[in-house]
A and B are shown apart, each in its own frame.
Chain A
Amino acid sequence: VSGVFCWGAGAGQDVGRSCILVSIAGKNVMLDCGMHMGYNDDRRFPDFSYITQNGRLTDFLDCVIISHFHLDHCGALPYFSEMVGYDGPIYMTHPTKAICPILLEDYRKITVDKKGETNFFTSQMIKDCMKKVVAVHLHQTVQVDEELEIKAYYAGHVLGAAMFQIKVGCESVVYTGDYNMTPDRHLGAAWIDKCRPDLLITESTYATTIRDSKRCRERDFLKKVHETVERGGKVLIPVFALGRAQELCILLETFWERMNLKAPIYFSTGLTEKANHYYKLFITWTNQKIRKTFVQRNMFEFKHIKAFDRAFADNPGPMVVFATPGMLHAGQSLQIFRKWAGNEKNMVIMPGYCVQGTVGHKILSGQRKLEMEGRQILEVKMQVEYMSFSAHADAKGIMQLIRQAEPRNVLLVHGEAKKMEFLKQKIEQEFHVSCYMPANGETTTILTNPCIPVDISLGLLKRETAIGPLPDAKKPKLMHGTLLMKDNSFRLVSPEQALKELGLAEHQLRFTCRVHIQDPRKEHETVLRVYNHLKGILKDYSVQHLPDGSITVESILIQATAHSEDQGTKVLLVSWTYQDEELGSYLTSLLKKGLPQSTP
């Protein structure tokens, strides 16, 4: 009996920092290496001491897998590999490998250059860390070592996001990272095959939400933006440079085109153009519609959306600005927010989840007086709207994925405890599988019961498949063989072959039973009566009357002789081998009961 051990260094019952350690059949794999955006101290990185107590990370871990480029999934990677120290392979998809270092560098700049923090990873560390990254294709089976293999599946969510299957022999785990089961304006839907893992580790950010249709949310969003712009207000949409931003840009671009609107739309930071470039070059990762039409019209070349300059924020009149970062915790979005917050004509639309501790989280939970740096109080008069555009699976989506993959156990991470509890019950009810939701630092053990692969000789397999009535191929067949175990190899062969390979001779065990029957008739007539009697009862067996006067039932031989002393008694000699034991024993007891009085 073996098992899968799963330990969360960061994901647990909390949104904001994913890092999970999985042990499967002796292999240790770390899933994601995220940081918490709500903290500015040691708590922002996962606590790796649990792993380091076992010695060097490189010796302990077989590989690290990063699901996508969001910092709550990869933000601690340079710290982990360069500062704590890990030299083994790190796997991620090509787009993630391309974009991840840019976001890390961006984040490093905000933290170190702007906030002046020390004890943080450097640019060089990001570069050195990325050298350890091996890029993987979707559906490619990557052989990490001889036993451990991983495979990436499309996850939607953001460009390059992937779910990973981790497999050792018959045992497997699927880790979803963040995923989205409905296609949006720029990405497709997550998909996995019926891989039946022992354990499915799924995010549960929106565990209880069953969101209204995407179309409604989009209409709602456009209406709010339109109304604000119409009354001369400014709309701030805090986003991360890559991901939701592109989807909302496509949405506004087409709306502006259709409605012939004139108010300017800006996209902040120099990342924009670069970000759109990634989408153009990795267009195979977007949804079908965009992929099909990209030669004629590249959806990521925007006509109405222009680069933002800091000075524009003070321009009079309506405008829409996309600004980073998405949770209003720093940078340009926060600067603009401070400028516009005091005017009730303006609006801020939060299109995604905000981690606790961020300004975004505060205003969403209704706070209207914010304490800023230097004890300054900022009064928020602008309208605050929340629209769930972030591409996570909702409860319906999570259930759908479970239906697709058919896991034996489910483990929920990356969600809030209360919501997860609700989903856990739902999963257990509907799928009758065990569902776990460990807290940070808690280890979950799931027992697996893997089948044992064995080599079977083709002769034996063919022989056994041939036995029995052919039409009913579904009916299970009985098989008898000998399992030879030598070193670590298991071979199932026919008993004959086993004897031969071991240089042994077969020992034949034969029984001959004398059965006395009262029958005054001549011998051959007795034989005929016995024959008819057996033929009538043993319909499924081959019963034969041979020319030499004997009867065979399958390979059992029956001969009749007259009793030496009593002519009215016949002696039937029933002879069979040990292999026919059951039938032989049955025949003797049957014949002992005598023959029926009249023969039909």
Chain B
Amino acid sequence: FFQYCLSGHPTLPCNVLKFKSTTIMLDCGLDMTSTLNFLPLPLVQSPRLSKLPSWVLKDGSTFLDKELKECSGHVFVDSVPEFCLPETELLDLSTVDVILISNYHCMMALPYITEYTGFTGTVYATEPTVQIGRLLMEELVNSIERVPKAQSASMWKNKEVQRLLPAPLKDAVEVSMWRKCYTMPEVNSALSKIQLVGYSQKIELFGAVQVTPLSSGYALGSSNWIIQSHYEKVSYVSGSSLLTTHPQPMDQASLKNSDVLILTGLTQIPTANPDGMVGEFCSNLAMTVRNGGNVLVPCYPSGVIYDLLECLYQYIDSAGLSNVPFYFISPVANSSLEFSQIFAEWLCHNKQTKVYLPEPPFPHAELIQTNKLKHYPSIHGDFSNDFKQPCVVFTGHPSLRFGDVVHFMELWGKSSLNTVIFTEPDFSYLDALAPYQPLAMKCVYCPIDTRLNFIQVSKLLKEVQPLHVVCPEQYTQPPPTQSHRTDLMIDCQPPAMSYRRAEVLTLPYKRRYEKIEITPDLADSLVPLEIKPGISLATVSAVLHTKDNKHVLQLPPKPPQPPASKKRKRVSDDVPECKSLKPLLSGSIPVDQFVQTLEKHGFSDVKVEDTAKGHIVLLQEAETLIQLEEDSTHIICDNDEPLRVKLRDLVLKFLQKF
């Protein structure tokens, strides 16, 4: 049992598990932090960005001047942004049988895997995961494709050149593996390989392994996975939350009795309390708007935004913001808002109850109806007519490198009245802002990450008691910036096994049993014998049928009756066909009783001699000798088959068959 670790990002995991005879990929997260090294893609020509100076090497060489630009002391690649893919060389990905997706954020690398590696298997995910994952991909593709950039920089990736670059470019890993965004046809093809599953659905893989998604409480349709056979159980915990937000609560009980628990996707901001952050978000938003400024919220089109809208729904009237327009701009804004209302079964209890009334589960339906929230596919078109300031804009992408957010950063960055509020935890806000510096606009950092923190993890582990814990190496030590915080790491016994990118881990357990079925007629034919109090045994000679990794034992077929007509047989016809297996024997033979039995069966000339280890029984007339010892019997005789068989059967009477 092996685990191949293809991603080094703890919240965007990609692992491959070899379990029994199956190869299972757990998530395929796409590390998008690589895009922070690129210049933003402006929707409208940006004089500021196009005037940025080229970066020149220390020795004055200018061959990189087309590829690298400098902004406020940081160097950026002037090119279509690229993403850091999961490792594709560690194992042959065409051998992957299935991919299990835990939530929509962890499937963004799917097209790279399914379309470029010869993958022919099946992907399993819940319906909300697929639908919202599709929206995220659509938004990503759309925001990159609508700004065609002629330039694709590659010279800087040369190992010799990269060495000479300033940080963080110098330290960027696997730059040769960075890839441009996929296309919509690739997304569609990848998504067509997904099979929809529901929580607690048991899915059989090749009869050998059963996988089951469980509610993880983090996002609509988000799941943890149980991978088990009859004798071993691996729990894959990825992106779970114990907070009560909109999704169905986390199913913890089903994680119990795991041999191995793989733990990924913990909170990226272990020191921030999500509730407090939401409060700060609201108050900063209100303050800015009251002062006549605009608020920009860089966000994903699904997830936390639903919770933020719900908070604002309760907050705006009391804060006197009823007349401030809220805009949600994304090519998938409408779809995301609509989809959120149709997944009743995947929502928390309160929201489910609303659907039974029947009312839309999320109050943003009402915000839209009352015109307080408006959504647009992009800044072009209707939006430019309706646009009123001061306002609040929710738009992507949180990296600030592409999407409509770039436009608002350029538009509002110069005024200190405006505020940008970062709520998504995936990108460092300082890095995200770097290509916009110097900036007059206020920046507020309210990361909302509802995933498990270390206190919740240690409680969870105590509760479900796995034999072994496996996690990314980042979780086994305090965060690099807070090395004294030993509470910000996983603490369990035995210590967690950690992994890093491109590593192969051997999972610690050994199974000793397998399930097999005995047919009723075979069971009827068995003769159990009580060998010790409470323990019975029966010897089983049966035919093993194996199909789809399922084993069944059946009665062996009766030997065919010899043909009635006695034709001349060739010698070789008699050769025993297959070695019919004889049981093992156990027990010992008391010499006196044995002799008595012999005499009862007509042997009159029995003579017994003692030896060092036992006895020798002699049948003088038959020239036969039987050595009896504690654990062995040896019959030495002439080639008189009836005699030998008779003696054999008499000996067997004293022995126990196994």
A381 vs B579: C-alpha distance when bound (angstroms): 86
Also in contact, A485 and B537, with CB within 8 A (given A140-B198, A478-B544): yes
* Contact among B358, B554, B576, B631 for A583, CB-based, below 8 A: B576
A453 vs B632: C-alpha distance when bound (angstroms) = 36
- When the two chains form their complex, are residues A537 and B576 in contact, meaning their CB atoms are under 8 A apart? no
- Is A380 among interface residues, defined by CB-CB distance under 8 A? no
Bound Cα distance from A280 to B338, whole angstroms = 10
> Which residues of A in the span 243-296 have a Cβ within 8 Å of any Cβ on B?
274, 277-278, 280-284, 294-295
CB within 8 A of A295: which of B335, B516, B652? B335
Question: Which stretch, A51-59, A74-82, A367-375, A492-500, touches the partner chain B?
Answer: A492-500
- B580 pairs with A582, CB closer than 8 A: yes
Is B507 close to A, CB under 8 A? no
Are A516 and B516 CB-contacts (below 8 A) given A140-B199, A479-B553?
Answer: no
- What 0/1 pattern do residues 635 to 658 of B give for CB contact below 8 A with A? 111110100110010011001101
- Contact A141/B356 with A498-B658, A586-B574 known, Cβ cut-off 8 Å: no
A294 to B634, CA, bound (A): 84
Question: Residue B526 contacts which of A294, A483, A491, A510 (CB distance < 8 angstroms)?
Answer: A483
Q: What A residues does B52 contact at CB under 8 A?
A: none
The distance from the CB of A537 to the nearest CB of chain B, in whole angstroms, is 5
Q: How far is the CB of B336 from chain A (nearest CB, A)?
A: 9
Q: Which residues of chain A come closer than 8 Å to B352, judged between CB atoms?
A: 94, 135
Q: Are A139 and B201 in contact (CB under 8 A)?
A: yes
- Please pick, from A295, A477, A502, A539, the residue contacting B338 in the complex, using a CB distance under 8 A: A295
Residues of chain B contacted by A515 (CB below 8 angstroms): 639
A433 is an interface residue with CB less than 8 A from chain B: no
Q: Known: A485-B528, A588-B639. Contact between A295 and B339, CB under 8 A? A: yes
B585 touches A509 (CB 8 A): yes
**Beta-carbon contact of B345 and A507 below 8 Å:** no
Hey, which chain B residues are within 8 Å of A141, CB to CB?
A: 200-202, 212
A134 contacts chain B at the CB level, 8 A cutoff: no
B538 touches A482 (CB 8 A): yes
Least CB distance from B355 to A in Å reads: 5
Q: Is B512 an interface residue (CB 8 A)?
A: yes
- A486 interfacial contact with B, CB 8 Å: yes
Q: Which of A274-326 contact B (CB under 8 A)?
A: 274, 277-278, 280-284, 294-295
From 439 to 491 in chain A, residues with beta carbon under 8 angstroms from any chain B beta carbon are 449-459, 461, 464-465, 468, 473, 476-487, 491
| Interface members, chain A 203-245 (any B CB < 8 Å) | none
Q: How many residues of A contact B (CB 8 A)?
A: 90
Contact A456/B585 with A138-B198, A513-B637 known, Cβ cut-off 8 Å: no
Closest CB of chain A to B166's CB: distance in Å? 46
**B318 CB to closest chain A CB, in angstroms?**
29
Does B465 touch A at the CB level, under 8 Å?
Answer: no
Interface flag for B540 (CB, 8 Å): yes
One of B358, B515, B544, B635 near A510 (C-beta < 8 A): B635
Q: A476-B544, A511-B644, A579-B581 are in contact. Are A486 and B516 (CB under 8 A)?
A: no
B586's partner among A456, A459, A480, A506 (CB-CB below 8 A) is A506
Give the chain B neighbours of A458 by CB distance below 8 A.
511-514
Give the docked Cα–Cα distance between A585 and B575 (Å): 11
Chain B positions within 8 Å of A546 at CB level: none
Residue of A nearest to B201 (CB): A139
Q: Mark A135-148, 1 if CB is under 8 A from B, else 0.
A: 10111111000000
Whether B523 is near chain A, meaning CB under 8 Å from some CB there, is: yes
- Specify which chain A residues have a CB less than 8 angstroms from the CB of B632 in the assembled complex: 507-510
Q: CA–CA, A580 to B638, complex, Å?
A: 18
A512 located at the interface, meaning its Cβ lies under 8 Å from any Cβ of chain B in the complex: yes
Q: Decide: A504 near B534, CB < 8 A? Known: A455-B513, A458-B511, A480-B539.
A: no
- Residues in chain B near residue A459, CB distance under 8 A: 512
Closest to B248 in A: A137
Q: Is the CB of B639 within 8 A of A278?
A: no
Contact B571 A479 (CB under 8 A): no
- B552 CB contacts on chain A under 8 angstroms: 451
Contact of B517 with A by CB under 8 A = yes
Q: Is the CB of A478 within 8 A of B584?
A: no
- A478 touching B581 in the complex, CB below 8 Å, given contacts A486-B535, A516-B639: yes
User: Which residues of A sit under 8 angstroms from B532, Cβ to Cβ?
Assistant: 502
Query: A585 — which chain B residues lie within 8 A by C-beta?
Result: 641, 644-645
> B interface, by DSSP: helix, strand, loop or mixed?
mixed
Among A465, A515, A540, A590, max chain B CB count under 10 A is at A540
Contacts of B230 in A (CB 8 A): 455
* A453 lies within 8 A of B515 (CB): yes
Chain B's nearest CB lies how many Å from the CB of A215?
28
| Residue B360 interfacial (CB < 8 Å) | yes
> Which chain B residues lie closer than 8 Å to A473 at the CB level?
546
Contacts of A481 in B (CB 8 A): 539-540
In the complex formed, the residue of A with least CB distance to B588 is: A507
User: Which one of B212, B540, B544, B545 lies within 8 Å of A483 (CB-CB)?
Assistant: B540
Interface residues of B in 561-601 (CB under 8 A from A): 571-572, 574-576, 578-588
Q: Which residues on A sit within 8 Å (CB–CB) of B528?
A: 483, 485
If the complex has contacts A141-B202, A498-B537, are A508 and B578 also in contact, measured as CB distance less than 8 A?
no
Instruction: Decide if A457 touches B513 in the complex (CB within 8 Å).
Output: yes
* Residues of A with C-beta under 8 A to B342: 280-284, 294
A524 located at the interface, meaning its Cβ lies under 8 Å from any Cβ of chain B in the complex: no
**B201/A452 in contact, CB under 8 A:** no
Q: Are B639 and A514 in contact (CB under 8 A)?
A: yes
> A540, B344: Cβ atoms under 8 Å?
no
Q: Is A507 a contact of B586 with CB atoms below 8 Å? A: yes
B residues 181-212 in Cβ contact with A at 8 Å: 197-202, 212
Query: Contact at A456–B583, with CB atoms within 8 Å?
Result: no
Q: Are B637 and A495 in contact (CB under 8 A)?
A: no
Complex contacts, A512 vs chain B, CB 8 Å: 634-637
Mask for B46-88, Cβ within 8 A of A = 1, else 0? 0000000000000000000000000000000000000000000
- Asked if A502 and B535 make an inter-chain contact with CB atoms under 8 angstroms apart, the answer reads yes
Q: B338 contacts which chain A residues (CB < 8 A)?
A: 294-295
- Cβ-based interface call for A422 (8 A): no
- Annotate A363-395 by CB proximity to B: 1 below 8 A, 0 otherwise: 000000000000000000000000000000000
Q: Considering the chains assembled together, what is the distance between the CA atoms of A281 and B365 in angstroms?
A: 12
Is there a chain B Cβ closer than 8 Å to A592's Cβ? yes
Give the CA-CA distance A582 to B579 in the complex, in Å: 8
Q: Is A124 an interface residue (CB 8 A)?
A: no
- A583 and B579 contacting across the interface, CB-CB below 8 Å: yes
Which among A454, A458, A484, A537 has the greatest number of chain B C-beta atoms within 10 A? A454
Provide the bound-state CA to CA distance between A97 and B641, in Å. Answer: 78
The chain B residue with its CB closest to the CB of A516 is B639
**Interface flag for B602 (CB, 8 Å):** no
Q: Mark A581-599, 1 if CB is under 8 A from B, else 0.
A: 1110110111111000000
Check B343 for interface membership: any CB of A closer than 8 A. yes
Asked if A48 is an interface residue, CB under 8 A from chain B, the answer is no
Residue in chain B with minimal CB distance to A507:
B585
Q: In the bound complex, do residue A281 and residue B360 qualify as a contact, i.e. CB atoms below 8 Å apart? A: yes
Is there an interface contact between A540 and B635, defined as CB atoms closer than 8 Å? Answer: no
Contacts of B361 in A (CB 8 A): 281
Separation of A496 and B539 alpha carbons in the complex (Å): 12
Instruction: Give the distance in Å from the alpha carbon of A537 to the alpha carbon of B535 in the complex.
Output: 45
Interchain CA distance A293-B639 in the complex, whole Å: 88
Complex Cα–Cα for A538 and B575 (A): 7
Are A478 and B541 touching (Cβ within 8 A)?
A: yes
Cα distance A481–B522 in the bound complex, in angstroms: 13
CB-based contact B655/A507 at 8 Å = yes
Complex CA–CA separation, A410 to B344 (angstroms): 35
Complex interface: chain A residues within 8 A of B648 (CB): 509, 511, 578, 581
Q: Which of B520, B535, B588, B655 contacts A485 (CB 8 A)?
A: B535
Q: A98 at interface (Cβ–Cβ under 8 A)?
A: yes
> Which 5 pairs show the lowest CB-CB distances between chains A and B?
A480-B581, A495-B658, A495-B584, A451-B517, A508-B632
Q: A137-B201, A496-B584 are in contact. List 5 more A-B contacts (CB 8 A).
A: A281-B341, A454-B515, A480-B540, A507-B633, A514-B637
A selection of 8 A-B contacts at a CB cut-off of 8 Å is A137-B345, A140-B201, A282-B355, A495-B539, A507-B585, A514-B637, A514-B639, A537-B571
